[in-house]
Structure 1
Amino acid sequence: MNRFEGKNVLVTGGTSGIGLAVARAFAAEGARVVITGRDAEALGQSTSELGTRAVALRNDASHMGDAHELGATLLGMGIKLDAVFLNAGTARFAPFAEVDESLWDLSFDTNVKGAYFQLQSLLPQLNSGASIVLNGSINAHIGMPASSVYAASKAALISLAKTLSAELLPQGVRVNVVSPGPIHTPLYGKLGMDAETLEATAAQIQAQVPLGRFGRPEEVAATVLHLASPESAFIVGSEIVIDGGMSQL
């Protein structure tokens, strides 16, 4: 299929994991893909893989200057958007008694404040009929120990999908959210755990998934593209959970 032939799409945090998988899927269906990330080398590698029409922008969602400037940057490049996947985020887990203000600020500045103001800056660059997909998490629903700050930040993002849908729909813009469960991505190597603890945690999580495995980034990407395409035109302000049944049992 070429559902996105001639379309411009933006994937924030598009250099690895779910973000890169989504960018690949958009490119495979004909889109001109703009990706953002913090690491210049990773951006270069990703754009080389995505093809000559791909565009890389160095942008850090946790820095308000970058969040506010994203739309202006695209305006200067003459790029209007048909789809946006707001994926850039951070995950830091810690027991409630050990959470400090810096962990709280990092999580909310990146996952909520940054996403909110990035999206605000993009409004003038959205074509009528554009689709926005936010990347949530099942942690907002399942009450996993040591995830209080991360889960709260993702719950806020899921709430935004509903309220912003109501506000942006008159402009012809839909907002929805995907909430992945455990997915094989580099994110699991960035949780601040040593290798032994990380392995034990992964095994414990996998045991809670009825399908008996972690998901694949490509499985999330398929749902993002569905929500970004006209075939999902009647889906507005909704959350689609992608977790192998983990949050249902």
Structure 2
Amino acid sequence: MGRLSGKIAVVTGGNSGIGLATAELFAKEGAQVVVTGRRKAELDAAVARIGASAVGVQGDVSSLEDLDRLYAEVKERFGRIDILFANAGVARVAPFEAVDEAFFDELFGVNVKGLLFSVQKALPLFSDGGAIVLNSSVANTSGAPGFGVYGATKAAVRSFARTWTNELKDRNIRVNVVSPGPVETPIFGTLGFSASQLDEFDEHVKSRVPLGRFGRPEEIAEAVLFLASSASSYVAGVDLYVDGGMVAV
């Protein structure tokens, strides 16, 4: 018996990186997994990789119409949700003076609006006693130059978990946050850095992380599994940093 045997799990942004690693682990532990992604080819490849326990629904979490379509399909296929990993997000870097409205709207549209409505629209299907895990980032506290807007979106995610823990307690739905440090995922290719800047960023990160390396998506997935499973039955409202000691040390 797997740790999630018989559970129905939804993973947004499950077509690559942390989302894909988590969806794979959920399926391995016995869950039926519904994964979302904006790009059909990547989503189809992810579903094929996960196997028969996975269903893919193409969509953008910043589109409420797409979210309605996602949950309509979940309802038709499974009738309920036991676990939601609200993982979909975008990362961009810009110094304060270079931030424009489009930059701001993209990050807040996906990372804050998209996450909020991913959770809100799931609630009518949610089993009492279920688990919600929100993906934030060490950027929610780090104050790193260039990450101001991104960090603000991830601080909002942390704040949501505190409020929703209280608002959902009568249904015994636990809400927790996982905050990854630097992880080897495709998202670093979207930051807008040149090759030389990426090399500099790589060295800077390794110098800041006590364990001296980037994390792996599979390591974050194990933390998400803990927060989603009965192993964390007395854990609610926490922000679990999975960052090689970057924040705590």
- Counterpart of 1:165 in structure 2: which amino acid? T
- Counterpart of 1:19 in structure 2: which amino acid? G
What TM-score, normalized to structure 2? 0.97
Q: Percent identity?
A: 46
In structure 2, runs of 5+ residues without a counterpart are: none
Q: Which residue of 1 aligns with 2:116?
A: 116
Shift of 1:68: 4.2
Counterpart Cα distance in 1 of 2:203 and 2:242: 19
Q: Which residue of 2 aligns with 1:62?
A: 62
Within a 5 Å distance, the mapping from 1:144-183 to structure 2 comes to 144-183=144-183
- Counterpart of 2:188 in structure 1: which amino acid? Y
Q: Which residue of 2 aligns with 1:236?
A: 236
| Conserved? CA contact 1:61–1:114, under 8 Å | yes
Q: Which residue of 1 aligns with 2:98?
A: 98
Q: Which residue of 2 aligns with 1:245?
A: 245
What TM-score, normalized to structure 1? 0.97
Q: Which residue of 2 aligns with 1:207?
A: 207
Counterpart Cα distance in 1 of 2:193 and 2:62: 22
Counterpart Cα distance in 1 of 2:210 and 2:153: 26
- Provide the secondary structure at the position in 2 that maps to 1:246: coil
Q: Does 1:35 align with 2:35?
A: yes
- Provide the secondary structure at the position in 1 that maps to 2:132: strand
Aligned length: 249
- Provide the secondary structure at the position in 1 that maps to 2:134: strand
Counterpart Cα distance in 1 of 2:73 and 2:29: 25
Shift of 1:92: 0.5
Indicate the RMSD between aligned Cα atoms, in angstroms: 1.2
Q: Does 1:85 align with 2:85?
A: yes
Farther-moved stretch of structure 1 (190-199 vs 101-110): 190-199
Counterpart Cα distance in 1 of 2:120 and 2:244: 33
Q: Which residue of 2 aligns with 1:125?
A: 125
Q: Return structure 1 stretches of 4+ with deviation > 4 angstroms.
A: none
Q: 1:171-207 CA distances to partner (integer Å, 9 max, x unpaired)?
A: 1211000000001111111111121211211211111
| Conserved? CA contact 1:70–1:122, under 8 Å | no
Counterpart Cα distance in 1 of 2:61 and 2:150: 16
Q: Which residue of 1 aligns with 2:17?
A: 17
- Provide the secondary structure at the position in 1 that maps to 2:122: helix
Q: 1:46-101 CA distances to partner (integer Å, 9 max, x unpaired)?
A: 11111112100001012232234432332233331111100000000101111111
Counterpart Cα distance in 2 of 1:78 and 1:30: 15
Q: Which residue of 1 aligns with 2:220?
A: 220
- Provide the secondary structure at the position in 2 that maps to 1:247: coil
Counterpart Cα distance in 2 of 1:241 and 1:35: 24
